[in-house]
Amino acid sequence: MFCSLRWQQQGHCTKVPRNANMEKLQHGYLFPEIERHELMHLEKYPHANIIDLGIGDTTEPLPKFVTSSMVDFVHGLSTTKGYKGYGPEQGEKALRNAITEVFYKDLGIKPTEVFVSDGAQCDITRLQLLMGPNLKIAVQDPSFPAYIDSSVIIGRAGEFIDKAGKYKNIEYLKCGPQTNFFPDFSTTSKPELIFFCSPNNPTGHAATRKQLQQLVDFAKVNGSIIIFDSAYSAYITDDSPKSIFEIPGAREVAIEVSSFSKFAGFTGVRLGWTVIPEELLYSNGFPVVHDFNRIMCTCFNGASNIAQAGGLACLSPKGFRAVKSLVGYYMENARILVKALASLGLTVYGGKNAPYVWVHFPGSKSWNVFAEILEKTHIITVPGSGFGPGGEEYIRISAFGPRESIIEASERLKNLLYIEDN
């Protein structure tokens, strides 16, 4: 079943009106739309060897140490001593302590400020629920589509402006190469919520310390809250900050969401976390962390205790070394893709601090580039315009995949573009 707006009236209708905000969503959610195109392509070419470099889904097996820890926990559930039912909605104490120690050591984050969840994307929507419906938001352009779509569903986006490809009440912060992938705050209004992802999905750009200090300073002056998505921070290879809380003043203006999905391969296991500092206050002085705790207790029964056992294993010294090797594997894939595409004279971004390669096709519509690559090479990519109007003329290529598939895809792309140039 696809997240699509296609429907046909069938049978009895109730008297319950459809949520007006749902009617404002444009087309289908990006990644199910990509899957729909893939299925259509398979119908046309049933024997095609499709290489999927589109949806950023991890492909390599989990480390045995991690899966063994989950298996041991599962076996324990069949014993009187090892059985566990409901756990704390905020997450198991041991895992909250481990997240704090591994990712936020010396940054002043307390375990009580860490909320374990079933993933960063789910937390993004819970954070939308946390805030009032009339707040003005700003997003990077391009950026992960869940920030915008969840804003539409919650009622903050306003009407969609077809000509601009934007929602009226969302401020799109240009973050392309012309601005060094960072907003120009001198031309920005005063949004109450700022969604910011670093390393950015889709461009792969990791904001510098100086850039993030500007972001924090802007939020502080304007009274904004930053929702900082650090889901890809484990892929940073230079000295770019891996957490917003490395920046002085961030505890007073920022929330951080993160995930085990991409650095530990938990895309199917489902585990993430959100950090809300005690110093983050609403305009009336009430701590945001108290309301988020209420949201978690009301709307969530806690992450799977099996997944949390796996997460705890990932953050042990042995487990962390193992998952870091997975990160290195995907980054080598990215290097191979960047080298292949750059050798063709294409302008290529990303692939240094994130497992995504952002490729420019000047003067082209990104959906047309996506369609041509799929038709002629049987490779799935993602059209850049799916990440916002700033993504037009680009495609995103994921480095998640088996090495042999990455090498094969590189050769197919080189052959396609070489033939077209000649």
pLDDT score recorded for residue 170: 97
Distances (CA, A) of 51 to 85, 344, 378, 399: 41, 20, 6, 11
pLDDT tens per residue across span 106-144: 999 999 999 999 999 999 999 999 998 889 999 999 999
Q: What residues have CB less than 8 Å from 8, skipping those under 6 apart?
A: none
> pLDDT band at residue 300, thresholds of 50, 70 and 90?
very high
pLDDT score recorded for residue 5: 47
- Answer with the residue of higher pLDDT: 418 or 237: 237
Q: Which amino acid is at 251?
A: R
pLDDT tens per residue across span 134-181: 899 999 999 999 999 999 999 999 999 998 989 999 999 999 999 999
pLDDT score recorded for residue 418: 55
Instruction: Give the C-alpha separation, 123 to 422, whole Å.
Output: 49
- With 50 as the cut, is the pLDDT of residue 1 above it? no
Contacts of 5-10 with CB under 8 Å at 24 or more apart are none
Which H or E element spans position 259? Answer: strand 254-259
- For 19-63, strand residue ranges (E) read 51-52
pLDDT tens per residue across span 366-384: 999 999 999 999 999 999 9
- With 60 as the cut, is the pLDDT of residue 222 above it? yes
**Share of residues in the chain with pLDDT > 90 (%):** 91
| Residue 316 and residue 323 in contact, taking contact as beta carbons nearer than 8 Å | no
Instruction: Give the C-alpha separation, 339 to 320, whole Å.
Output: 29
Mean pLDDT of 214-236: 98
pLDDT tens per residue across span 26-36: 877 788 889 89
pLDDT score recorded for residue 2: 39
pLDDT score recorded for residue 38: 93
Give, as one character, the DSSP assignment of residue 133: T
pTM value? 0.94
pLDDT score recorded for residue 4: 46
pLDDT tens per residue across span 380-422: 999 999 999 999 999 999 999 999 999 999 999 998 875 566 5
- Give me 214's structure tokens: 């500007």
pLDDT score recorded for residue 27: 72
Instruction: Give the C-alpha separation, 55 to 32, whole Å.
Output: 9
Instruction: Give the C-alpha separation, 264 to 269, whole Å.
Output: 10
- Please report where in the chains the tokens 């990519």 appear, as a residue: 381
- Please report where in the chains the tokens 């705790």 appear, as a residue: 293
Distances (CA, A) of 30 to 162, 272, 380, 381: 17, 22, 13, 12
pLDDT tens per residue across span 243-268: 999 999 999 999 999 999 999 999 99
- With 60 as the cut, is the pLDDT of residue 297 above it? yes
How many CB atoms within 10 Å of residue 337? 27
Q: How far is CA 394 from the centre of its chain?
A: 18
Backbone angles phi and psi of 418, in degrees to 5: -65, -45
Q: Mind giving me the DSSP string for 80-98?
A: TTT------TT--HHHHHH
> pLDDT band at residue 10, thresholds of 50, 70 and 90?
confident
For the chain, report the end-to-end CA distance as a whole number of angstroms: 42
